[in-house]
Chains A and B, each alone.
Chain A
Amino acid sequence: MAFVTIREAKEGDCGNILRLIRELAEYEKLSDQVKISEEALRADGFGETPFYHCLVAEILSAPGEPQGPCVVGYGLYYFSYSTWKGRNIYLEDIYVKPEYRGQGIGSKIIKKVAEVALDKGCSQLRLAVLDWNKRAMDLYKALGAQDLTEAEGWHCFRFEGEAMRELAGK
C-alpha cells in the first residue's frame, strides 16, 4: 500500500512541477496561457530571492515495488501583505492528479500551508477559485473559507502587458 508525504519542493522537482502546472491549466481550460519555462521556475523559486514557495505531494511506493517516489500534486504559495492585517499567505496553485483525488491529498496540502502561515505569523490565507469549480469551492468552504467575491463583492483585476506599457509610456 502506498502512502503520501507532503514536503517542501527542491530545485530538482521543477520539471515535475511544470508538468503539473500545465495539467492544472488544462483542467482550468486556460492551457494556452502557460508561458513559463523550467529554467524560469528554477531561477524564480530557488535563486537568491525566491518569489514563490512550493510543497509537493509525493507517493512513496511500498517495499518491494519497483517504481520510485512519484510527485502527484503540488501547492504553490507566496507571502502577501495587508495594510490592515499585516502578513498574509496566498495559495496561488493547488493541484492533485485526477487518479489520486478523493484521498484527502488536497486537504493535506492546504493544512500544511496553514501550518506555514501560522508559523510565519500570517493572519490570513487567501486563494482564488473559478466559479464553475464547485468541487474546489465545496472543499474550501468545508474547511471554513469565505467566498469574498460573493460575500463582499471583491473582483480581481489585471493590467496586462500592452495596457501596462501604455500606462508606463503616457
Chain B
Amino acid sequence: MNSSSKIFTSGSLCLYNCCTGEERNSDLLRDGFGDNPLFYCLIAEVHNHQKPSGKVTVGFAMYYFTYDPWIGKLLYLEDFYVIQAYRGLGIGAEMLKRLSQIAIRSQCNCMHFLVVVWNQASIDYYTRRGALDLSSEEGWHLFRFNREELMDMAGEE
C-alpha cells in the first residue's frame, strides 16, 4: 500500500455510510454498540491531515455470526466496501484477512456472503481468492418474505 492505512475493529461511533439520516445512525448505534450487538464492523482508515480528526474512513466490513446445522457456527459477511479512490491498494484483501482470522478464532467453519451475479468484477475478486458460488455449484436460491407477507402469514388461522 502506498498510503498508510489501518484496519480497526470498530469500537467507536465512526460508521461508514453512503447515505444515512439521523434515524438510521441511531438504529446502527443501538444495534451494533449496545449490550447485545446484532452486528460487528471493521473499518479501514487512512491518515489525512486535512481532516480535523486527522483520518478518513475509506472502507468497512460488517459481519455477524450465523449457524449451519450441518457444521456449526459461520461468519456471515453482510457488507464489504472500499471507496473507489482507494481500491487496488490491498485494503480489501487486508480486511478479508482480518475477517478470516476472526472467523477462525471464533470457531467458525466458513464465511458466507451474497454477490449479485451481474457484478463480474466482484465475482472474479472472490473466486480468485478461493470462494465458491453455491448458487451455481449446488443450485441454492435466496428467497425473501417482506413485512407485509409476514403479517399476512402471522395473521392467518
Contact = CB atoms under 8 A, between A and B. Distances in A.
A146 B144 contact: yes
Interface of A: 17, 21, 25, 30, 33-36, 40-41, 44, 51-52, 76, 78-83, 86-87, 90, 92-93, 110-111, 114-115, 117-118, 122-132, 137, 140, 143-150, 152-168, 170
Contacts, number: 229
A86 B62 CA distance: 12
Is chain B's binding surface mostly helix, strand, loop or mixed? mixed
Across chains A and B, which 3 residue pairs bring their CB atoms closest together, nearest first?
Answer: A163-B130, A144-B149, A168-B100
Contact of B150 (A35, A125, A137, A161): A125
Interface residues of B, number: 66
Interface string B104-146: 1000011111111110000100100111111110111111111
B138 A130 contact: yes
B146 A41 contact: no
Interface of B: 17, 27-28, 31, 38-39, 62, 64-73, 76, 78-79, 93, 96-97, 99-101, 103-104, 109-118, 123, 126, 129-136, 138-154, 156
Contacts of A158: 110-113, 131-132, 134
A128 B143 contact: yes
